[in-house]
Structure 1
Amino acid sequence: MVMQTLVAMDDSPQASAALSYALEEFPESAVTALHVIQLPEGYWTSFTDSETELPGYESAQERARELLETAEQTAAEHDRELETTVETGKPAREIIDYAVGNGFDQIVIGSHGRTGVDRVLLGSVSEQVVRRAPMTVAVVHEQLNH
């Protein structure tokens, strides 16, 4: 049975590093890149029957397509194939739900590597995934120069 690896993707250098890490470190694994479109909460949601009617949804879909096309190019540079998917909702919850629902063995996610007050104030998706996911989670730190 082939190991399955889910890589959480956004448009950050950390997510790109996570994808490269997964492709390099798990050559025998089937890799899937997942992008979560985060929906606005509150005000707008009470006026629509469908998430597709929310302001900015179309542009978010387009950004997701471009992001995953870039991820596919990265995989091709590593002579690898890549499955891609887009979900909508709260990123940490969707990443975990998708991984569990589709039988993934592990999740690879990028992290800004922030500590202390920065981490607390920003609320890290990667931290939530590490805490809640029932499978192995590899966190790839890509330090940014501030």
Structure 2
Amino acid sequence: MVSRLLVPMDDSEMAENALEYALDVHGDADVTVLTVVGEPSQLMGEATAVAMADDPRAKAAELAAPVLERAQEIADARGRSIDTVVGLGHPAREIINRADEYDTVVLGSHGGTIAERLVVGNVAKTVFNRSPVPVTVVR
């Protein structure tokens, strides 16, 4: 039986689909939404903003807020409660490092822009191949 789910989210439609699936299919499970910010990239956007902030954790929470607000809207529409958490660094690594605290991971098949996917790589594929717990990939 699945009682604890980790649902990683970015600002993509596929991530929203994954959360909707998790909430609909696993009605009794505790759901935690994880969004990861501050990932190093060639453009250094979020990573630079987090690293240069006086309070890096507060800056990460600020950058994560839109994704977590959307996750809460999706949960509210289904009459469900969720927990939220913000990770720092590389998304696949953060997901894999946290996965063993859960029964399963439910994530979108891909996310972000085409340019981000080329730079970052395929998070879903990495998580699927390296997760210590079962992974459901949602399209």
Bin of the TM-score, shorter chain as denominator length: 0.7 to 0.9
**Partner of 1:130 in structure 2?**
128
Query: Does the CA-based 8 Å contact 2:41-2:119 persist in structure 1?
Result: no
Separation of aligned partners in 2, 1:96 and 1:13: 22
Runs of 4+ aligned structure 1 residues displaced above 2 Å come to 38-44, 57-63, 119-123
How far off is 1:39 after superposition? 2.8
Kindly indicate whether residue 92 of structure 2 is the aligned counterpart of residue 92 of structure 1: yes
Partner of 1:144: none
Quote the Cα distance in structure 1 between the aligned partners of 2:42 and 2:21: 37
What SS does the aligned partner of 2:15 have?
Answer: helix
- What TM-score comes out, normalization by structure 1 length? 0.75
Count of matched residue pairs: 128
How far 1:37 sits from its partner (Å)? 0.7
Asked if 2 retains the 8 angstrom alpha-carbon contact of 1:38 and 1:91, the reply is no
Q: Which residue identity is paired with 1:77?
A: A
Amino acid across the alignment from 1:139: V
**Equivalent residues in 2 for 1:89-128, closer than 5 Å:** 89-100=89-100, 103-112=101-110, 123-128=121-126
Kept in 1, the 8 Å contact 2:40–2:90? The answer is: no
Letter aligned with residue 94 of structure 1: E
TM norm structure 2:
0.78
Would you say the 8 A contact 1:111–1:126 is kept in 2?
yes
Whether the 8 Å contact between 1:36 and 1:94 is mirrored in structure 2 is yes
Unpaired stretches in structure 1, ≥5 consecutive residues:
114-118, 142-146
Query: What is the deviation of 1:2?
Result: 7.0
Residue of structure 2 equivalent to 1:79: 79
Cα 1:78–1:42 change in 2 (3 A) is closer
Q: CA deviation at 1:59?
A: 6.6
Q: Distance in 2 between matches of 1:9 and 1:28?
A: 20
- Which amino acid counterpart does residue 53 of structure 1 have in structure 2? M
- State the distance in 1 between where 2:26 and 2:66 align: 24
Question: What SS does the aligned partner of 2:34 have?
Answer: strand
Answer with 57-66 or 27-36: which moved more: 57-66
Write the deviation string for residues 4-36 of structure 1: whole angstroms up to 9, x where unpaired: 000010000000000000000000100000001
Rg larger for: 1
